[in-house]
Amino acid sequence: MSVCSADSYSRMLYAKQILSADQPCDRRPGNAPADAGVTYSDDGSVHLCVYAPHASAVTADVSVSGTNRQTAVLEKGSDGAFRTVFAYQKNFNGPANTLLRIDGNESLDPFIPIIWTNNRPYNCIEFPSEDMDWIFPRKVPHGTITVHTFDSEVMGRAERVLVYTPAGMQNKELPVLYLLNGSTDNETSWFSVGRIADIFDNLLADGKMMPFIAVTVNAMLRENGAVNNDRDGALERMLCSEVIPLIEGEHLRTKKNRAVAGLSMGAYMTADIAMHRPDLFAYAGTFTASLSQTPEQIASMYTRSGYVRPYHTFLQEVTAEQFASMYRVWFRSTTTQEDHPELFEADDRLFEQAGYSALPCSYRILYPAEVTKWNSWRCGIRDYAQLLFR
């Protein structure tokens, strides 16, 4: 019998939490004030209150995009709480990674929603956005979210996927969308930050989306179960040989009933998997650049593993006519608030040179400048979902 070491077991428990925050209880622990956490004013301003009665200083770094960030020094009150107010800014919206420092020490606040990012639990503040009501729960039928754990031979350990199934369709045979997360996130991110369950519930209720199952896979997984940014073929092997049979069982779908999509790092991996395995996927969605990368990204992600991306050969060998026969939808989207918007434009040129851009199956959206990174990924999955399985 193989037994996990104490260290590997504790790391597994640490990384596989489903982190969330509920409404605050009327009885707050530790005499925390009623406004502890995050509250909002009608003018869109965000009020942050951190209860730390024994601290001398509290700061908050909040970031909605790579260069779109704010740092605040909170003011201590007589009740032991530190407070600040972030005034509404039209281009500072959506979920913000929030790093609190209490007396210089990085801290998690129990009254602020907690997500998984930067390879650790992180506080997250949702900043008000215009015209984004479709990401929040409405009084509509709600789908279910289930957790499936399996023994992965590829990774050499137990892994898991999270599965969204539309309301009332738990026993239906439905097409499947496989979703990949970005760098330093994991399989919880599309639900906790991307809000895909609410987005899909609302689209289905409005008749804008065909019913399908959505499966989130930890795209950070590498050879032998490592979790890092180095790109290799392990995730693709696990997805194709283990996750797809797990989800689809004996009733394996044809490629016309299977889609893959991803954001940021997951967009690169989506392009690699879809171009390498067009026999499995008829739909591909990439939210951010999906082919072009900076020299620094290439050096950091591929040098050690020796992984060679398939798109170089694909673009040379696959004609526009062949591309159109392979894919029903190839969707690309981004925002200028992305870290490297010029890479999306470089992808444009590659698709144009290959003759793919003019095809009916090719979709491309650049969201307005005020749309931040995560909001652009939410918009991307919303717009991509409406094209699937028609």
How do residues 375-389 score in pLDDT, each as one tens digit? 999 999 999 999 999
E strand intervals along the chain: 37-40, 46-51, 58-63, 69-73, 75-76, 81-86, 94-102, 105-107, 114-117, 120-127, 144-152, 157-165, 176-180, 213-217, 258-263, 283-287, 329-335, 362-367
Residue 16 confidence (pLDDT) above 80: no
| Cα 171 from Cα 164, distance rounded (Å) | 13
Residue 330 confidence (pLDDT) above 80: yes
| Cα 246 from Cα 266, distance rounded (Å) | 21
DSSP string, 64-99: SSSS-EEEEEPEE-TTSEEEEEE---TTS-EEEEEE
Residues of the chain with CATH 3.40.50.1820: 134-385
Taking the C-alpha atoms of 146, 148, 149 and 153 in order, what is their torsion angle to the nearest 10 degrees?
-150
Residue 10 confidence (pLDDT) above 70: no
Pairing of strands 176-180, 258-263: parallel
Work out the pLDDT band at 303, boundaries 50, 70, 90. confident
Average pLDDT over residues 78-105: 96
Architecture of the domain defined by 6-128: Sandwich (2.60)
Residue 12 confidence (pLDDT) above 70: no
Q: What topology is assigned to 134-385 in CATH?
A: Rossmann fold (3.40.50)
Residues of the chain with CATH 2.60.40.10: 6-128
What is the pLDDT at residue 21? 55
What is the pLDDT at residue 19? 63
Higher pLDDT pick, 68 / 12: 68
Average pLDDT over residues 185-210: 96
Portion of the chain with pLDDT greater than 70, in percent:
92
Average pLDDT over residues 276-280: 97
Q: What is the mean pLDDT of the chain?
A: 92
**Helix residue ranges per DSSP H, 253-327:** 265-276, 295-302, 311-317, 320-326
Residue 22 confidence (pLDDT) above 90: no
